[in-house]
């Protein structure tokens, strides 16, 4: 017989659909030297990957370039069967917690379209495009 204390607790994030946050690692690059300083995109990816560890539903992935160079740092939210968003002007020093909040809102939304009140400021002001689901 198993007691309630023997059963692992399930958190809300354990049951959410997965969402991937793609991060442009070319954004904010100041040098083409591979040993040069990290780009703002690389810094954001590193910080976001570390911050996302406790959130099993959030994955991070580098993208070489989103070709939105005037809107650095550009990221994208993508989840299976849901709308995707490309968002610019994110800041690795300011937006990490808000990116996690937005990723969870995308995962929670039935079609990947969170309500405006669930979107942090960077999301409301930084949307470059919204892409329909493939299926």
Question: What pLDDT, in 10s, does the model give residues 47-80?
Answer: 999 999 999 999 999 999 999 999 999 999 999 9
Rounded-to-integer distance, Cα 82 and Cα 76, Å: 13
Rounded to two decimals, the pTM is 0.86
90: nearest Cα among 78, 101, 98: 98
Q: CB–CB of 47/92 below 8 Å?
A: yes
Delineate the domains of the chain, giving CATH numbers in brackets.
Answer: 13-131 (3.40.30.10)
pLDDT in tens, 6-38: 433 334 445 789 999 999 999 998 888 878 899
């Amino acid at each position: 017989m198993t007691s309630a204390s023997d059963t692992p607790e399930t958190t809300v994030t354990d049951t959410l659909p997965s969402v991937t946050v793609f991060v442009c690692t070319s954004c904010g690059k100041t040098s083409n030297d591979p040993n040069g300083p990290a780009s703002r995109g690389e810094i954001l990816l590193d910080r976001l990957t570390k911050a996302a560890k406790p959130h099993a539903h959030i994955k991070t992935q580098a993208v070489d370039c989103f070709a939105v160079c005037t809107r650095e740092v550009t990221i994208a939210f993508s989840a299976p069967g849901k709308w995707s968003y490309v968002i610019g002007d994110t800041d690795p020093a300011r937006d990490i917690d808000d990116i996690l909040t937005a990723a969870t809102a995308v995962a929670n939304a039935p079609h990947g379209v969170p309500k405006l009140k669930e979107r942090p400021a960077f999301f409301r002001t930084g949307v470059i495009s919204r892409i329909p689901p493939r299926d």
